[in-house]
């Protein structure tokens, strides 16, 4: 199955928080999208692996993605090893995405920048014909390099290279985010408080998108950082 977008996240909920609107809008336009979580988020202060898995599946249903996969790398210890690189390369070659989304290039959680580097490097290595990988049936996979790799923006307010207008998808994005009931604001929860369990954080997901939208004269937007110079066919393609 060839898809248009393959979105990677270090933890379940990274993708929803950071590019869920872009994913939903792309699907509404007829594009195919898959999500890959590198870890199960097992070190998260609140909730557990089983709950997080259920929440991530519910969020995937809300967004309408074609599939969601978890590679079960160790939470907190993503290291870009050869073994982990090959896991990502195998998926890139299996689904042959045109575009790959990955974690922020610089962020509060150390897994985020490590995951970004891992995925970016795997996208390059996936195009090398002398790296041999096999699919689930044991057949040698063809090499494949995505056309573009974009890092979404997370905790830190980094300057994006471009933004996507998600005004039509902001409500669905928020519906997907709040599927993670164990992680975010719940006034009756007795779990320990964390920086992402506050009312301020969950409200910030919407108002940060509103602020990016304000800068480009739309209601809501999500920002991305490109790994290469962006080209357009016509100057009039730029808004």
Instruction: Report residue 188's pLDDT band, with 50, 70 and 90 as the boundaries.
Output: confident
Q: Which two tokens stand for residue 182?
A: 């164990």
Measured CA to CA, the distance from residue 31 to residue 45 in angstroms comes to: 35
In a domain, 234, yes or no: no
Instruction: Name the residue range of residue 100's domain.
Output: 5-228
- Whether 107 and 154 have beta carbons less than 8 Å apart is answered as yes
Domain assignment present for 48:
yes
Q: Is residue 238 part of a domain?
A: no
Residue where the block lists tokens 């870890």: 39
pLDDT digits 0-9 by tens, 62-106: 999 999 999 999 999 999 999 999 999 999 999 999 999 999 999
What pLDDT was estimated at residue 126? 98
Which CATH number characterizes residue 191's domain? Answer: 3.40.50.10320
Question: Which of helix, strand or coil describes residue 33?
Answer: strand
pLDDT score recorded for residue 37: 98
pLDDT the model gives residue 127: 98
Give the model's confidence band at 193: pLDDT under 50 very low, under 70 low, under 90 confident, else very high: very high
Query: CB atoms < 10 A from the CB of 158, how many?
Result: 17
Q: For a pLDDT cut of 90, what percent of the chain falls above it?
A: 94
Model pLDDT, residue 181: 93
28 belongs to a structural domain: yes
At residue 70's C-alpha, the angle toward residues 168 and 28, to 5°, is: 20
Q: How confident is the prediction for the chain on average, in pLDDT?
A: 96
| pLDDT above 90 for 33 | yes
Q: Domain for residue 73, yes or no?
A: yes
Residue 107's pLDDT is: 96
pLDDT score for 84: 96
Q: Which residues pair with 9 in a beta bridge?
A: 37
- 133 found inside a domain: yes
pLDDT of residue 175: 98
- Tokens (6 digits) for 191: 């779990």
With tokens 């580097």, the residue in question is 117
Q: Identify whether the C-beta of residue 180 lies closer than 8 Å to the C-beta of residue 55.
A: yes
101 domain-assigned? yes
Band of the pLDDT at 1, cuts 50, 70, 90? confident
Counting the structural domains of the chain, the total is 1
Do the strands 148-152 and 221-226 form a parallel or antiparallel pair, or are they unpaired? antiparallel
**Range in 82-91, 94-103, 181-190, 212-221 the model is least confident about:** 181-190
Report if residue 233 sits inside a domain: no
Taking alpha carbons only, the member of 197, 144, 37 closest to residue 101 is 37
CA distances to 3, 106, 117, 135 from 227, in Å:
20, 13, 11, 28
Give pLDDT, residue 189: 87
The pLDDT score that the predictor gives to residue 136 is 87
pLDDT above 70 coverage of the chain, percent:
100
């Amino acid at each position: 199955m060839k898809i248009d977008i393959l979105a990677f996240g270090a933890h379940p909920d990274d993708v929803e928080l950071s590019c869920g609107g872009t994913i939903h809008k792309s699907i509404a336009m007829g594009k195919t999208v898959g999500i890959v979580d590198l870890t199960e988020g097992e070190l998260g202060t609140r909730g557990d692996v089983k709950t997080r898995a259920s929440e991530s599946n519910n969020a995937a249903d809300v967004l309408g993605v074609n599939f969601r996969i978890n590679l079960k790398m160790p939470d907190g210890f993503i290291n870009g090893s050869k073994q982990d690189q090959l896991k990502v390369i195998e998926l890139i070659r299996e689904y042959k995405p045109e575009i790959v989304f990955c974690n922020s290039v610089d962020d509060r959680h150390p897994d985020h920048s490590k995951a970004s580097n891992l995925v970016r490097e795997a996208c390059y290595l996936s195009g090398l014909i002398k790296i041999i990988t096999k699919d689930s049936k044991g057949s040698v996979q063809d090499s494949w390099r995505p056309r573009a790799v974009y890092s979404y923006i997370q905790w830190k307010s980094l300057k994006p290279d471009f933004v996507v207008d998600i005004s039509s998808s902001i409500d669905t994005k928020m519906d997907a985010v709040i599927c993670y009931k164990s992680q975010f604001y719940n006034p009756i929860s007795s779990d320990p408080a964390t920086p992402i369990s506050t009312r301020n954080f969950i409200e910030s997901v919407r108002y940060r998108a509103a602020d990016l939208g304000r800068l480009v004269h739309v209601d809501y937007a999500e920002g991305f950082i490109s790994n290469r110079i962006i080209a357009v066919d016509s100057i009039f393609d730029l808004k």
